[in-house]
Structure 1
Amino acid sequence: MKDVTQLTEGWSLRHGDDVLEAAVPGCVHTDLLTAGVISDPFLGRNETDVDWVGRRAWTYVRHLGHDSGHERTDLVFDGLDTAAYITLGGRPVGATRNMHRRYRFDVTGRTGRLEICFASAYDEAAAVRAVTGERPNVYPEPSQYIRKMACNFGWDWGPTLVTAGIWRPVRLEHWSTARIADVRPLVTVDEGTGRVEVRLEIERTAQGRGRTLRAEARVAGARAEAVLAGDEAVLHLEVPDPSLWWPRGYGEQPLYDLRLTLSDEGGPLDTWHRRIGFRTIELDRSADEHGTGFTLVVNGVRIFARGVNWIPDDAFPSRVTPERYRTRLTQAAEAGVDLVRVWGGGIYEDRAFYDACDELGLMVWQDFLFACSAYPEEQPLRGEIEAEARDNVVRLMPHPSLVLWNGNNENLWGFRDWDWEAPLAGDSWGEGYYLGLLPRVVAELDPTRPYTAGSPWSGSWDHHPNDPAHGTHHSWEVWNRQDYAEYRASVPRFVAEFGWQAPPTLATLRRALPGEDLAPDSPGMLHHQKAEDGNGKLNRGVARHFDLPADDFDRWHYLTQLVQARAVAAGIEHWRAHWPVCAGTVVWQLNDCWPVTSWAAIDGDGRPKPLYHELRRVYADRLLTLQPGDDGLVLAAVNQSAEPWRTPVTLRRMRADGTTVGATVLEVVADPRAVARAAVPEELVPDARSAKEFLVADADGLRALHFPVPDKDFAYPRPRFDVTLEPVSGQGDRVDVVVSARTLVRDLLLQPDRLGQAVACDRGRQTLLPGERTRIRVHGCGTVTADDVRAALFCVEPV
């Protein structure tokens, strides 16, 4: 039977005469940080002080012994970052140039000093660029010339921290006769029967050649066996009436253990195990009267995807543990998310990420790793890219949560709109990957899943790549240049990216910028704002609705976070109200990789921003929304549940002082997975110029609001409310904050981190009418007073 020795201990990191203890898995930056050689690059402006780290060569060293009775010993790397030259006992073992691949080297009988010498990623990229020639890039860094996490080189939300190191596990595998090299389980469901076609490849030793071997596969009581005279076999298993895997909100997520054993006459030689799920996945891209669709269909059910974009959860990915993956993805699921897009400027995530998605019912849209750049298609990159694609398709395809392969992020759009064509002058730029190589690899290795060439992509060059009427669409003009109300100007078929910025929570800012007198333009705040004209766009977004506060950081912080939540809600409410024409929204973005002002719903310290709580509201199965349009004001009841939604909706036209001008009750029936729309009676619609009237819709504990004018033009009363605290019985660290409104209180928000670094609460912004009260559960707060809580409460105030 194969033996495995994990190589996690005994490593040193060397540069010149300096030798440090090294953690494996890890990276140079984390080792230097542990040793006190560098300051934390996430704090203050330390990032600029460690630029030298990514521009040097580094060597990892340890002694490698040999104690095995097996015929063969392989040195196996799950991830090397990135250009490395490996020696053992002074003799070459191999070389690598791809962070996104696994590597295996035969070191049978060899012992001695193991050295892994990493070149600077900048030097490797320069060498490749010298061969391929220049290509356009959105950022002034060489990310497209090296197969490495592109956002290591900085992004409009990320630091420039160019890493090197053994970033995923390394081990010795000792084996005899034969081993399992690759397993591809093709899982389908046909007329109620689950089918698993297990495609097996093995590797033999010299002594193992010519031997007859046996492979056995088992799943859910089904068994199949094959005799291998060569190095490949196909085993077929059938499972009658399997329980189907569903996205969260549509059903359960049953997982089945698929086990494979390779044996000879002496017994087992090697085993393989994964969990699989039975489900069908289709992508409906058929044309209709609205253009070209893009609808995910799981087990025959058409789905409006409630998605988020995922970036690496740490600028140093080796620090992301299975527990951290689980925490972040659970946060996503609890916000109503059912799809996570793994963005193409990051990494193919660890198995723990996809395991968690399998269990939580989170569909995974997986980008191949190309983003915002023109990529050369010549060697040495082309061979690396094909090997990388093959490696990761095989590695990830057992996961039922994986529903879509996507060729790239924004490169097809970039070629058309970002002035690439002229400087390229006919040179390759990646099109051959997205429309040729990658779809061929997916069709060969994983024909059970759909592939799309890019995001955005209209399906062909017959339409603009980012045409909202065809395929996937990225909506960035609104954030860059317009008011968030402009999200309502179109109904894309699938919104794969859109978002609005806001700073992180105050506790995160205080930790990341120690001792700084916080202001929107203070040095640390500007350093942790990576977007072009980011603060300008933030301020213009606020100024369209509120007067920008002068010299009041707390108020600015509240308003920027409020506008972020409102903006994303405006888009999602509008697009969900137009299902099934629009079939999904994928918010940019769920998470951050360090403390930064960004589009994220969860900041770099893992704290939810108000946007996170807003996602819980707008991604709930049932959503009530008031939608202005050319035909007047419309009430939309969005029902993504499996049951009909029959409810009376109370409409009230109200004055700012809380009195009711008019009211009615509409009976609304929304079918399962459908939207019911009803015109608001004309007599209840406030005048478009009214500064004193607004509309409220209430049903089943849900509320929708319509204010006809910007907040700064509305005659809000001075907000008055009472705050009381009620301990939660049996839970000493929890308290209910009860807020009772005496006036209209618009967008009341508790910022729990102002009560303590570890304090959290269960809801975001709320609007209370006079006489209403709300209960906010707070945990982790210890002993606080009503005055403490009042100081952490914010709401809209009159000008």
Structure 2
Amino acid sequence: MKVRTPLSQGWTLRLNTDRDTPEGTPPRLAGTTVPAQVPGCVHTDLMAAGLLADPYLDRNESKAAWVGRADWTYASELPRREGAFERADLVFEGLDTVAAVRVAGRLLGRTRNMHRSYRFDVTDLLADGPAPLEVAFTSAYTEAEALREALGQRPNSYSEPFNYLRKMACSFGWDWGPTLVTAGVWREARVEQWSTARLAEVRPQVTVAGDGSGTVEVTVDLDRTTTGQDRPLRLVAGVGDTSSEVTVAPGAMTATVSVHTPDVALWWPRGYGEQPLYACTVVLEDAGGHALDAWERRVGFRTIELDTSQDEHGSAFTLVVNGTPVFARGVNWIPDDVFPTRVTADRYRARLTQAAEAGVDLVRVWGGGIYEDRAFYDICDELGLMVWQDFLFACAAYPEEQPLRSEIEAEARENVVRLMPHPSLVLWNGNNENLWGFADWEWEQALGGESWGEGYYLGLLPRIVAQTDPTRPYWAGSPWSGSWDHTPNDPDHGTAHSWEVWNRRDYSDYLTTVPRFVAEFGWQAPPACATLERALSERPLTAQSPGMLHHQKAEDGNGKLNRGLARHFAPPADFDTWHYLTQLNQARAVAAGVEHWRSHWPRCAGTVLWQLNDCWPVTSWAAIDGDARLKPLYFEMRRLYADRLLTVQERDGALVLAGCNQSAAAWGATVTVRRMGADGTVRAGAEVPFEAAGRSVALAALPRSVTEFGDVRGEFLVADADGLRAVHFGCPDREFAYPAASYEVRVREDGEGGAAVTVTASGLVRDLLLQADRLAPDARADRGRVTLLPGESCTWRVTGWARPTAHAAEAALFCVNGAPVRE
């Protein structure tokens, strides 16, 4: 059997001084060798050695810019080859990015792609004993800028040259991320020793027949030694308790074996059914039955289709799983750390579990990041989170000339094969915003006929998917209308991105269109106060303090935040109020969009929030900040993505109730609707019944007696049913005649390192929020904002709060109608 020896110990790192070192390089680094972690990267190794300040803190990012401009060498030692094996290979699952690999001084090869693996034959080099190994990294800037010079300038939404090499684009910075250009052995390095033959590639295609049976057709490519060329082999595949085998003829380099399983249990997205997974094993044996190599993954049986049929509204974009159309409740995923080797399986599980607990059923892996680790997709399989996987192109024109084209083809083929076993993977997407950029961002004029990536998105990539993974749909880009007959971001066709609202307009403009599928939309807010206080040392913090502005990467980001506030609120008097209102505005903006779009199912078939997570402490569109603290948006997403959502919407100039029911069971309810005054009195009321079938939306008209406001600045609507509440105000907060907030706070310790905080309102309290991190940095609350009517109470369960007091709780509570009048 093949033997794998990980190369994870004994690595060192040194600065290369063969060329001038970049400005800012510490002189003491010349000739200095430091311990290195593999997998890892230069930045984290320098931090561990005390040679680099944490670039996530204050404005240290700028002081670390030299690291990405320098050249570095990782060094270790390869083990002696065991004589029982015919062949020894040095394998790198990932090298970031431009590297020369040498063993015993001999150049084995050069790399220029972070997103693929590399294998080198080192059989002869290990025969005489351990051999020195060096991986010399050239700065990614050096390679990218040289290619830009050779191939010509291409349009790019950012100034950095990430589109000229195959590297995680966002390591060059983004409108939410720092510029920290990494280098290193970022995935596993190992030596593999084997004889006769090995499994070079395994491609399982999983299908489900109409009779409920399932088939896994496994195609393998083989690599043989010289003595193994003329030997017959046997390939044995197993799925669950069923297995099948074939004989591989001498000299054959590929083989296919099918395993047929009757009455398979179907894999479903969360909320639609269970997620049964079957062990799939492939064993390569010699003629005597001795195992030479083995491969194992888990697979799931399900069908996935993409409905793009024409209708009276345009053309659909609806995911259909096992014959059931799905409204996708999605989030966009960015790398969870700019240094991706720090993202462990436990961290993936924590973040994806948070997504699932918020009602998410689809995660889009965005094209400016990476093809994530296997653990990410394994966890999505288990949690029932559908994965929309972008190919790694984002916000730029990409040359189609060599050497990029061959690298992109190799990368795409390898990663399609690597990810195809996962039932959670439901869509391959060609790129992020590049087709849109060509059509609508004046790229076509700037390019002057030069290549820009169309050949990848409409030619190479769909061909690779069709050849390798034909059981899954491919879509050319996001946004993309399906053809050049319509502009790529046409909301009536295919996928759409909604960014005019955040950039230029109020979030009420979400209500003016019904896209077929909203693949990106969002609103910014700062991270939790405890996150800011950890990351920034300046005091007092203000929205315009230097550190805050450094950790705001969006163009005019704070200006957009403040203009968004001004449409709804009076100018905030202090930083704490600004912080609360910007976080509230983020939650409200997303709610306006999702409630509207979800109420238009099945015309609109999904929303994918930008974004779930952050990669460092920053003001951004994320629901979970860079220190893993939950912003108010997270709790709002949990309400918006619940199976049942009650909302007040406008149809044809009148207010209606929308009961959005994503569960399989019918939802029937009688809704209590009240028009209330700001003083808490009921001005009018009605009982409104509705019945929503499973996976449907029910609209119910509201009587005019309830919806006709006597004074829009002093009245509002409240609708309650089955523990759900919808609140509708007819004017901006700055115009509404709010009473001064009046409530009582009680705190009760629970004996488990936490407490229950109960607030009882004496009058209307709008959007009351407990910011738990103000109680203690590690404190967490179990819910977000709530609007209370006179006499109503709400309890927050808080964990991680060692010394609970009512006084501290009062200081951490915020609401729209100001500081409370103390009882």
Q: How much does 1:780 deviate?
A: 1.1
Q: Tell me the equivalent position of 1:228.
A: 248
Tell whether the 8 Å contact from 2:538 to 2:547 is kept in structure 1 after alignment. Answer: no
1:176 to 195, 199, 205: 195
Written as runs of structure 1 = structure 2, the 5 A alignment for 1:492-507 is: 492-507=515-530
1:132 to 129, 139, 151: 151
Q: Tell me the equivalent position of 2:810.
A: 790
1:585 to 603, 607, 615: 607
Moved more, 662-671 or 127-136: 127-136
For the residues of structure 1 that align with 2:442 and 2:331, how far apart are their CA atoms? 29
Q: Taking structure 1 as reference, are residues 137 and 689 closer, same or farther at Cα in structure 2, changes over 3 Å only?
A: farther
Q: Tell me the equivalent position of 1:77.
A: 92
Aligned letter for 2:633?
L
Q: How much does 1:797 deviate?
A: 1.5
Deviations 1:530-551 (A, max 9, x none): 000100000011111101213x
Q: Tell me the equivalent position of 2:618.
A: 596
Q: Taking structure 1 as reference, are residues 215 and 752 closer, same or farther at Cα in structure 2, changes over 3 Å only?
A: same
Tell whether the 8 Å contact from 1:473 to 1:494 is kept in structure 2 after alignment. Answer: yes
Q: How much does 1:438 deviate?
A: 0.1
Deviations 1:558-616 (A, max 9, x none): 00000000000110000000000000000000000000000000000000000000000
For the residues of structure 1 that align with 2:219 and 2:752, how far apart are their CA atoms? 55
1:29 to 12, 37, 43: 43
Aligned letter for 1:322?
A
Q: How much does 1:110 deviate?
A: 1.2
- What is the aligned residue count? 796
For the residues of structure 2 that align with 1:20 and 1:747, how far apart are their CA atoms? 52
Deviations 1:194-220 (A, max 9, x none): 111111111100010010000000112
Q: How much does 1:734 deviate?
A: 2.4
Determine if the alignment matches structure 1 residue 91 to structure 2 residue 106.
Answer: yes
Q: Tell me the equivalent position of 2:8.
A: 8
SS of residue matched to 2:745? strand
Aligned letter for 1:327?
A
Q: Taking structure 1 as reference, are residues 228 and 791 closer, same or farther at Cα in structure 2, changes over 3 Å only?
A: same
Q: Tell me the equivalent position of 1:197.
A: 217
Q: How much does 1:227 deviate?
A: 0.7
Unmatched tracts of structure 1, length 5 or more: none
Q: Tell me the equivalent position of 2:206.
A: 187
Deviations 1:231-290 (A, max 9, x none): 111111111111110000000100000011100134100110000000000000011000
Q: Tell me the equivalent position of 1:62.
A: 76
Q: Tell me the equivalent position of 1:663.
A: 685
Moved more, 719-728 or 590-599: 719-728
Q: Tell me the equivalent position of 2:346.
A: 323
SS of residue matched to 2:755? strand
SS of residue matched to 1:647? strand
Taking only the aligned residue pairs, the percentage that are identical comes to 66
For the residues of structure 2 that align with 1:697 and 1:689, how far apart are their CA atoms? 19
Deviations 1:8-54 (A, max 9, x none): 00000011412111000000000011111110000000000010000
Tell whether the 8 Å contact from 2:81 to 2:88 is kept in structure 1 after alignment. Answer: no
**Structure 1 stretches of at least 4 aligned residues deviating more than 4 Å after TM superposition:** none
SS of residue matched to 1:586? strand
For the residues of structure 2 that align with 1:394 and 1:421, how far apart are their CA atoms? 34
Written as runs of structure 1 = structure 2, the 5 A alignment for 1:713-732 is: 713-728=735-750, 731-732=751-752
Aligned letter for 2:32?
D
Deviations 1:281-318 (A, max 9, x none): 00000110000100000000000000000000000001
1:703 to 717, 725, 728: 725
Q: Tell me the equivalent position of 2:141.
A: 122
2:63 to 30, 36, 49: 49
Tell whether the 8 Å contact from 1:128 to 1:380 is kept in structure 2 after alignment. Answer: no
Deviations 1:662-706 (A, max 9, x none): 111011100000000012111101439611100000000000011
Q: Tell me the equivalent position of 2:542.
A: 519
Q: Tell me the equivalent position of 2:797.
A: 777
Written as runs of structure 1 = structure 2, the 5 A alignment for 1:417-436 is: 417-436=440-459
SS of residue matched to 2:14? strand
1:740 to 760, 779, 785: 760
Tell whether the 8 Å contact from 1:80 to 1:99 is kept in structure 2 after alignment. Answer: yes
For the residues of structure 1 that align with 2:229 and 2:650, how far apart are their CA atoms? 73
Tell whether the 8 Å contact from 1:686 to 1:695 is kept in structure 2 after alignment. Answer: no
For the residues of structure 2 that align with 1:639 and 1:688, how far apart are their CA atoms? 32
Q: Tell me the equivalent position of 1:282.
A: 305
Aligned letter for 1:250?
Y
Moved more, 58-67 or 413-422: 58-67
Q: How much does 1:629 deviate?
A: 4.0
Aligned letter for 1:311?
I
Q: How much does 1:131 deviate?
A: 2.4
Written as runs of structure 1 = structure 2, the 5 A alignment for 1:552-571 is: 552-571=574-593
Q: How much does 1:631 deviate?
A: 2.7
1:101 to 108, 113, 116: 116
Written as runs of structure 1 = structure 2, the 5 A alignment for 1:324-473 is: 324-473=347-496
Written as runs of structure 1 = structure 2, the 5 A alignment for 1:628-647 is: 628-647=650-669
Tell whether the 8 Å contact from 1:309 to 1:341 is kept in structure 2 after alignment. Answer: yes
Aligned letter for 1:19?
T
Determine if the alignment matches structure 1 residue 753 to structure 2 residue 773.
Answer: yes
Q: How much does 1:727 deviate?
A: 3.0
Tell whether the 8 Å contact from 1:749 to 1:765 is kept in structure 2 after alignment. Answer: yes
Q: How much does 1:798 deviate?
A: 6.0
For the residues of structure 2 that align with 1:617 and 1:767, how far apart are their CA atoms? 14
For the residues of structure 1 that align with 2:431 and 2:287, how far apart are their CA atoms? 47
SS of residue matched to 1:511? helix
For the residues of structure 2 that align with 1:400 and 1:700, how far apart are their CA atoms? 35
* Normalised TM-score (structure 2): 0.96
Tell whether the 8 Å contact from 1:626 to 1:705 is kept in structure 2 after alignment. Answer: yes
For the residues of structure 2 that align with 1:367 and 1:468, how far apart are their CA atoms? 20
Aligned letter for 1:204?
R
SS of residue matched to 1:620? coil
For the residues of structure 2 that align with 1:120 and 1:439, how far apart are their CA atoms? 32
Aligned letter for 1:142?
P
For the residues of structure 2 that align with 1:687 and 1:465, how far apart are their CA atoms? 41
Q: Tell me the equivalent position of 1:161.
A: 180
SS of residue matched to 2:282? strand
Tell whether the 8 Å contact from 1:14 to 1:60 is kept in structure 2 after alignment. Answer: yes
Determine if the alignment matches structure 1 residue 615 to structure 2 residue 629.
Answer: no
Q: Give the RMSD, CA atoms, in angstroms.
A: 1.0
Aligned letter for 1:26?
G
Determine if the alignment matches structure 1 residue 306 to structure 2 residue 329.
Answer: yes
Q: Tell me the equivalent position of 2:21.
A: none
Tell whether the 8 Å contact from 2:57 to 2:536 is kept in structure 1 after alignment. Answer: yes
For the residues of structure 1 that align with 2:150 and 2:262, how far apart are their CA atoms? 55
For the residues of structure 2 that align with 1:88 and 1:591, how far apart are their CA atoms? 40
Q: How much does 1:67 deviate?
A: 3.2
Tell whether the 8 Å contact from 1:686 to 1:708 is kept in structure 2 after alignment. Answer: no
Aligned letter for 1:388?
E
Q: How much does 1:149 deviate?
A: 0.3
